[in-house]
Amino acid sequence: MSKTWGDAFPEIAMENTLRCIADLFQVLQLNRIPPGRVRWVYQGGLLHCERRADGVCLGIFTPRDVNSIDQRGLERFFAEFQAVARAAPL
């Protein structure tokens, strides 16, 4: 599932990007590299992606200028993403 609110990122492009990220995380897992966060640097932005142990991935695009974003808020967002999995009943 993907959702975008910016005109610069059409949903079809987001879906393709997230499929590629999911593939990357599968390859990492096959090579016994634990789930974690990766970041791609593009000309105009950054793509932060994290995979939980249950296989769910979260991708967030931010401006490339790290001073223009709330770094603590971004970290909190990823922490909440991880906490959802820990709080869910098995």
Question: What Cα–Cα distance (Å) separates residue 34 from each residue in 20, 40, 45, 53, 56?
Answer: 18, 18, 26, 8, 13
d(CA 50, CA 60): 9
pLDDT at 1 over 70: no
Which residues on adjacent β-strands are paired with residue 45?
A: 63
pLDDT, tens digit (0-9, with 9 covering 90-100), for 13-43? 778 888 888 888 889 889 988 778 889 888 8
DSSP for residue 54 = T
pLDDT averaged over every residue in the chain:
84
